[in-house]
Amino acid sequence: MVIRIAAVGDVHLDEDVVGRFRPALEELPDCADVLLLAGDLTRHGTESEARCVAQEFGDLGVPVITVLGNHDHQCDEVPQVVKVLEDAGITVLEGTGVVLECAGGRLGVAGAKGFGGGFAGRCASDFGEPEMKAFVQTTKDSADSLGAALRGLDCDVLVALTHYSPVPDTLAGEPLEIYPFLGCYQLGQAIDSAPTALALHGHAHHGSERGTTPGGVRVRNVAHPVIKQAYSIFHLGDHLD
Amino acid sequence: MTGHHGDAPPDEYVEAEIQSMLAEDPDVAEQGITVVRRERGLVLYGEVESPHRREEILRRVAERFPDLPVTSDIGVIRTQAPTQVEELP
């Protein structure tokens, strides 16, 4: 039993990029059951950029599931962006999940954008000014919604999809000083609260590909500048046991 | 005072201003460009999604700091299909 997952994040589409991914994407039906997009689909989160995403990642012959990233929030047009993507058949997750029937079994994908905050012992605290409390509350709410979505799925293989990183491992290569802006440990805790097989994220352009959560879940940074190809493919299942 | 004067090496305020400009200018919106200060100017490195974006970054920096020597090592990220799969049993 194998489930084939293609994934990429941080494609930052606008008109100048449309068509660059398409030749590689046309191969997807032969090599993947699903394409997961780890946020930052656009440059500024405008409706017109979302249409570029729909054009590039729509009608691929495999289901496409995404979370949004921080760039997709820049112009405060999230409802319009989501509508354009969903009209193109792309499933947008935010504290939600979906189960797909694949040839190799039922694949559950739960996703949330996530947020910064930092990692154990080097993180922001819910203390002090209202702005800092609001920052940390955003972190906690996002992780809580991801955890609930993961635990709520009934499937054979469970995958977590975020934009921000759940672990520091996949940030290696980024300046240490900006780790708190790149992810938070609460996302890892959420991922470890469910029988997650794989966690995918983006956001850290100078990071590295591989890591694991404290609970042993494999984490992959699929940001386009990290993987340096149109997408990566992961085969999940018991085929190598 | 922020700026670059004559032959003096660029200071960290110049680095900060360029980093902010690249992230916040709506025509650029790049957070993945690293600015490295050298004795005789700046090196910009990172990767972007199109040649047009690379040109726009260099144009903006040259416009703001016309006397500052800038070396570009910004690549355009490849978009070929993968040739290998990662097996995760």
A52-to-A17, A22, A41, A220, B37 alpha-carbon distances in Å: 8, 12, 9, 26, 36
Residue A181 CA to residue B64 CA, distance in Å, equals 27
Q: Using an 8 Å CB-CB cutoff, list chain B residues near A203.
A: none
Q: State the complex-level ipTM.
A: 0.92
Supply the DSSP string of A91-141, one letter for each residue.
EE-SSEEEEEEETTEEEEEEEE-----EETTEE--S-SSHHHHHHHHHHHH
Instruction: Give Cβ neighbours of residue A194 (< 8 Å, ≥ 6 apart).
Output: A110, A147, A150, A151, A153, A158, A160
Q: pLDDT tens digits, chain A, 241 residues: what are they?
A: 899 999 999 999 999 999 999 999 999 999 999 999 999 999 999 999 999 999 999 999 999 999 999 999 999 999 999 999 999 999 999 999 999 999 999 999 999 999 999 999 899 999 999 999 999 999 999 999 999 999 999 999 999 999 999 999 999 999 999 999 999 999 999 999 999 999 999 999 999 999 999 999 999 999 999 999 999 999 998 765 4
Burial class of B26 by CB neighbour count within 10 A (0 to 12, 13 to 18, 19+): exposed
CATH architecture of A2-237: 4-Layer Sandwich (3.60)
Q: Tell me which CATH code domain B12-76 carries.
A: 3.30.1340.30
User: To which H or E segment does residue A210 belong?
Assistant: strand A210-212
In whole angstroms, give the CA distance from residue A206 to residue A204.
6
Q: Indicate yes or no: CB of A20 within 8 angstroms of CB of B32.
A: no
Q: Would you state the structure tokens that stand for residue A159, as one six-digit string? A: 């995958």
**Is some CB atom of chain A closer than 8 A to the CB atom of B31?**
yes
Q: What sign results for the dihedral spanned by CA atoms B29, B31, B32, B34?
A: positive
Grade residue B7 by pLDDT with cuts at 50, 70 and 90.
low
Q: Pick the closest to residue B12 from A192, A127, A200, B4 (CA basis).
A: B4
Whether the Cβ atoms of residue A40 and residue B49 lie closer than 8 Å to each other: no
- The helix (H) or strand (E) run that includes residue A219 is strand A218-221
Show residues of chain A in contact with B82, CB under 8 Å: 229-233
Q: Does B27 touch chain A (CB under 8 A)?
A: no
> A198 contacts in B (CB within 8 Å)?
88
Of A71, A198, A240, the CB nearest to B29: A71
Residue A135 and residue A12: Cα distance in Å, rounded?
25
- This prediction has a pTM of 0.94
Dist CA B2 CA B21 (whole Å): 13
Hey, is the C-beta of B29 within 8 angstroms of any chain A C-beta?
A: yes
Calculate how close chain B gets to A236, using CA atoms only, in Å.
5
The position carrying tokens 């293989």 is: A157
> Which positions in chain A touch B77 (Cβ < 8 Å)?
224-225, 228
Domain ranges of chain B: 12-76
User: Beta strands of chain B (E only): which ranges?
Assistant: 34-38, 41-48, 70-76, 86-88
